[in-house]
Amino acid sequence: MLTSFLEIPPTSHFPIQNLPFGIFSTAEQPAPRVGVRIGDFVLDVSVVEELAYFGGNLQGKRVFRQPTLNAFMALGRPAWREARTVLTNLLRSENPTLRDNPAFRARALHPIATVTMHLPAAIGDYTDFYASREHATNVGTMLRGAENALMPNWLHLPVGYHGRASSVILSGVNVTRPRGQVAPGNASTPEFAASRSLDFELEMGFLIGTGNPLGEPIPIEAAEEHIFGLVLLNDWSARDIQAWEYQPLGPFLAKNFATSISPWVVTLDALAPFAVPGPAQDPVPLPYLRAPANQGYDVRLEVALQPAGGAAHTICRSNLKHLYWSLAQQAAHHTITGCNLRAGDLCGTGTISGPDPGSYGSLLELTWRGQNPLTLPDGATRKFLEDGDTIIMTGHCQGDGYRVGFGEVAGKIVSAMGAL
């Protein structure tokens, strides 16, 4: 098995088989730049670039001493693969180039505890899909009954909406409880209040690498060539604000206050060994959504809730492979009108729920709209999130003796701002 000269335990999310990209800085060099995660270290890719280890599609491009991944992602898959190959070779256990060069190692390798992480991309646009059949069925059942759970269009297209890119935040940033108009119970008029039904949504997000010109859709068979990689994503949701505002145009203030993502972007090349068939699709989608294979990825996902002063407790286990609409279908559908995606655009999958109650990816489902509160180990209960609660999402693919993981995305709820 491919191994690194760095000692990496088999439970680490970041072996040599992964090498996810991110943006980091250090106290000694505060300018953000591109790094890859390897075990408990960050490899400074700008140093590798400066020392001229990259050629071919990366020759002279100078894309790694940049504060975002955008310039690198825009180069396309040949450049992504070349960078991955060079970095893998430098980190291999049998290669002395970095292993046996103390000066090179001192410049290029930084302990993870000494770095500060930043958003991986300048996100121009954010789109959130609704691609889990189980989640859509659960929510539809609550609102319309089991016989009308899915809207008539749902099995024909990946439903989505345009979100707010400015409030995409990095793991670890606190989330302020939003305030807005809510209509308690069956009230016909609203009141202005802090959300009482604040929720998480277990999602994954994919970052666009190479975009498409305005007016030229991305064909389904080429869609994954435009996807650079994936992150964990928590699309926080104020259910009571949403219940009042969403008709007729859908989510707005209930979703625009915060979307948390993990700092490390795991490439599709790293995920390739974990590709699996997606769910069977019936009816057969229209031709522009028919891929050679409805491909998913076997990414094991978990959500833990940590109350203020307490221990984290796992409340959900799901998997990316449950998505009905694939990443490729989401990208192809997004552009079928001629919409132009750009490097750094972020697309969320929508809540990823599985077939059993323990795999439901939101408190809305786990508590069935608050009717069945969760009981935590300390005896406390939750219908929705309380101030001081921290939500921690993790995800990994399990290989033979190694993992390809995403680390975590975490966010703590803090109280709403003072009275207006």
In DSSP notation, 109-125 reads: EEEGGGEEEE-SS----
* CA–CA distance, 19 with 264 (Å, rounded to integer): 9
- Within the chain, how many helices (H) and strands (E) appear? 10, 26
Q: Return the amino acid letter for 385.
A: L
Estimate the share of the chain in helix, then strand, then coil, as percent rounded to the nearest 5.
25, 30, 45
Structure tokens at 262: 């993990």
Among candidate residues 251, 246, 239, the one with its CA nearest the CA of residue 385: 239
Q: How far is CA 9 from the centre of its chain?
A: 24
| CA angle, residues 234, 389, 378, in degrees to nearest 5 | 125
Among candidate residues 228, 294, 303, 272, the one with its CA nearest the CA of residue 399: 272
Q: Return the amino acid letter for 153.
A: N
Among candidate residues 137, 259, 126, the one with its CA nearest the CA of residue 201: 259
How many CB atoms sit inside 10 A of residue 389's CB?
21
Task: Give Cα separations from 234 to 51, 205, 418 (angstroms).
Answer: 38, 9, 25
One of 135, 333, 334, 396 is an active-site residue; which one? 135
Query: Is-contact 384 370, C-beta < 8 A?
Result: yes
**Cis, bond preceding 307 (omega within 30 deg of 0):** no
Q: Going by DSSP bridges, is the β-strand pair 191-194/198-199 parallel, antiparallel, or unpaired?
A: unpaired
The conformation of residue 337, written as its DSSP 8-state character, comes to: T
Among candidate residues 373, 371, 353, 393, the one with its CA nearest the CA of residue 138: 353
The conformation of residue 282, written as its DSSP 8-state character, comes to: S
Active-site residue, 156 included:
no
The residues annotated as belonging to the active site are 135
